[in-house]
């Protein structure tokens, strides 16, 4: 059986992927960047590494033939991606599943899409067989970062009333797990992953209201107010600019499209926001 190295295993995607791979009985090494730790319950092998240090990545990948690559959203993300590809070649990795971003391209007109697209290009240029997954915004945004605002009765987004086809992070993990276990027919291909429908801010508020039994309203945020909020949170200027670029591309109507890639890769339909809201209703009450 091939051994799988999950780079970024302590992140939200990595954590979900470990759970998905465990159900498949896969042989997995959890790679953690820096001093981060894994959630309770993971009893498999853990290897620390540093995206800044190629030698540490080569050492962490030793004995593995498949790589799942998720990178932190930081200013050095493209550098980390380049280093990871060099390390993968040196370590003898034979197949890569890359976690990218919906709408990414090396020549994208929006900054976050371009940053992810550049890393995707590094993967393609590595000459290692690959599959690139480009997920849309995750539903879990509303059960984590936005949970406090929703508990106060408001869904507040800087996206006017344009739709986004939100994806459950577990569907992303299931797609990656399926590819890492059996990539037949999917090598050197790219898949755009979405949820089953495009939802606007008012749609989200209505569905969370139905799930919680509370009146939740939608409040669009002007871009200037959004920027001030991000700056006030202590977010770096680079990360803030990436988030603003994402909100702008939503307002171009580019993030509401729906694909069937989740069902194609996993043989199961993408999870609905209604099901997600019902599952997380107590988070917002």
Do 255 and 162 meet the contact criterion of CB atoms below 8 Å apart? yes
- Position of tokens 């993971």? 42
Taking the C-alpha atoms of residue 16 and residue 20, their distance in angstroms, rounded to an integer, is 6
Please give the chain's pLDDT, 285 residues, in tens: 699 999 999 999 999 999 999 999 999 999 998 777 786 678 889 999 999 999 999 999 999 999 999 999 999 999 999 999 999 999 999 999 999 999 999 999 999 999 999 999 999 999 999 999 999 999 999 999 999 999 999 999 999 999 999 999 999 999 999 999 999 999 999 999 999 999 999 999 999 999 999 999 999 999 999 999 889 888 899 999 999 999 999 999 999 999 999 999 999 999 999 999 999 999 999
Task: Report helix angle 111-125 to 237-250, nearest 10.
Answer: 100
**What does the pLDDT read at residue 34?**
78
Taking the C-alpha atoms of residue 38 and residue 122, their distance in angstroms, rounded to an integer, is 28
**What does the pLDDT read at residue 229?**
87
Taking the C-alpha atoms of residue 61 and residue 66, their distance in angstroms, rounded to an integer, is 9
Closest by Cα among 212, 213, 218 to 160: 218
Number of C-beta neighbours around residue 98 at 10 A: 26
Report pTM. Answer: 0.95
**What does the pLDDT read at residue 41?**
73
DSSP letters for 9-46: TTSHHHHHHHHHHHHTT-EEEEEEETT--PPTT--SEE
**What does the pLDDT read at residue 233?**
87
**What does the pLDDT read at residue 37?**
72
Q: Which letter does DSSP use for residue 209 in this model?
A: H
**What does the pLDDT read at residue 43?**
84
Spatial strand order of the sheet with 45-49 comes to 45-49, 27-33, 3-7, 66-69, 95-99, 130-135, 189-193
Contacts of 146 (CB under 8 A, 6+ apart): 155, 156
Taking the C-alpha atoms of residue 80 and residue 224, their distance in angstroms, rounded to an integer, is 31
Backbone φ and ψ for 202, nearest 5 degrees, come out as -60, -35
């Amino acid at each position: 059986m091939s051994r799988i190295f999950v780079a970024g295993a302590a992140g939200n995607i990595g954590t979900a992927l470990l759970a998905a791979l465990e159900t498949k009985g896969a042989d997995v090494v959890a790679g953690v960047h820096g001093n981060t730790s894994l959630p309770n319950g993971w009893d498999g092998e853990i290897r620390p590494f540093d995206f800044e240090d190629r030698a540490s990545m080569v050492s962490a990948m030793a004995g593995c033939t498949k790589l799942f690559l998720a990178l932190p959203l930081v200013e050095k993300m493209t550098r980390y991606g380049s280093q990871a590809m060099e390390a993968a070649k040196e370590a003898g990795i034979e197949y890569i599943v890359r976690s990218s971003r919906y709408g990414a391209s090396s020549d994208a007109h929006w900054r976050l899409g371009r940053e992810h697209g550049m890393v995707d290009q590094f993967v393609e240029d590595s000459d290692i067989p690959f599959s690139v997954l480009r997920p849309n915004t995750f539903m879990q945004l509303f059960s984590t970062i936005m949970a406090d605002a929703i508990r106060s009765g408001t869904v507040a987004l800087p996206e006017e009333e344009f739709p986004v086809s939100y994806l459950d992070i577990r569907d992303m993990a299931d797609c990656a797990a399926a590819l890492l276990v059996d990539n037949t027919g999917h090598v050197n291909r790219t898949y755009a992953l979405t949820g089953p429908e495009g939802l606007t801010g008012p749609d989200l508020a209505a569905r969370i209201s139905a799930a919680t039994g509370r009146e939740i309203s939608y409040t669009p945020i002007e871009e200037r107010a959004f920027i001030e909020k991000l700056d006030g949170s202590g977010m770096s200027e680079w990360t803030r600019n990436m988030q603003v670029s994402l909100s702008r591309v939503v307002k171009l109507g580019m993030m509401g499209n729906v694909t069937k890639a989740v069902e194609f890769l996993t043989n199961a339909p993408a999870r609905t926001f209604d099901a997600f809201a019902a599952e997380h209703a107590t988070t917002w009450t």
